[in-house]
Amino acid sequence: MLIIRHTEARAVLADPAYVPPPVRQDGAEGTLAWLRAQVSRFSTGETHAGRRRVLTELLAGLEPAELRRAATAMTVERDGDWHGVPTAVLASALGVEDSALLADAVPAAASGYLSGEETPEADAAVARLLTLAGVPVITLLLQGYAATEGLIEAALRHGGPGDDPEALLYETLRHDPPLRATRRLDTRTGETVTIDLVAANRDPGVFADPERFDLARGCGPHLTFGSGIRPCPAPGHALALAAGVLDAVLAPHRTPPRPR
């Protein structure tokens, strides 16, 4: 089933009868499959609540304003080449400083983390990350990586020098979300439900003139950070990291980022 309406999407995300599609539990220790079986994102019930609590406690120790300042400073230091900055700043705040290892291993492991695609490269990346940090920190780095970089890329497509970073990020999250859908399993029927976040964020019953990219809209009830039982626990951190990069890249006196 495909859900496109905002109200129905929120109802499914708030209903414990809908759970993330289960992941296999028999992966060899230290592999991507093993990691996916350990994390909050793919677990349910009490297990999910306990694992999520560990993450929210870790996140509570990080100051979004400090993440933002650090992301700006690192982007300026790298002459506008911001790719990898959100991960490096988040990792450093979590006590992990090996930026060369992170720059390779986080993208390599993150690609399969959400999709479940198991490759030798992803397994090797997970093994390398486990030499640096435990599962909760790795979870935060892998969850944050693609969505935060995707948000910055989309914001830079929509905005330009002089735009207010927050306004640009809010409307980009609604109009052009880096995470475009999420899935649930209906435990009563066995049916898989796909929630189309792009469609829900453009529901005309909730957003006036929804197709229009409008910087004046502010932070409305978009569903890009999820909702209900297991929303993103780090929207403030994600926004701070992205805004810090934009502070550097969109400042009128700075040069645009180097093309890659």
Instruction: Please identify, using beta-carbon distances, which residue of 79 and 151 lies nearer to ligand HEM.
Output: 151
**Binders in 230-249 for ligand HEM, by CB under 6 A:** 230-234, 237-238
The minimum distance between CB 197 and ligand HEM, in angstroms, equals 7
Output the CA–CA distances (angstroms, integers) from residue 106 to 120, 123, 186, 241, in the order listed.
14, 11, 31, 16
The span of 70-78, 139-147, 211-219, 252-260 binding ligand HEM (CB under 6 A) equals: 139-147
Instruction: Please identify, using beta-carbon distances, which residue of 165 and 226 lies nearer to ligand HEM.
Output: 226
Distance CA 102, CA 132 (A): 9
Q: Which of 75, 139, 172, 201 binds ligand HEM (CB under 6 A)?
A: 139
Task: Based on the shown chain and the rule CB under 6 A, indicate whether residue 64 belongs to the binding site for ligand HEM.
Answer: no
Instruction: Please identify, using beta-carbon distances, which residue of 79 and 194 lies nearer to ligand HEM.
Output: 194
Distance CA 147, CA 32 (A): 19
Task: Based on the shown chain and the rule CB under 6 A, indicate whether residue 88 belongs to the binding site for ligand HEM.
Answer: no
> Helix H segments across 131-253?
135-158, 165-175, 197-200, 235-249
Instruction: Please identify, using beta-carbon distances, which residue of 165 and 233 lies nearer to ligand HEM.
Output: 233
Burial 166-200 (b: 16+ CB within 10 A, else e): ebbbbbbbbbbbbbeebebbeeeeeeebebbbbbb
Distance CA 258, CA 187 (A): 48
Binding site for ligand HEM (CB under 6 A): 40-41, 52, 55, 90, 139-140, 143-144, 147-148, 151, 178-179, 182, 224-226, 230-234, 237-238
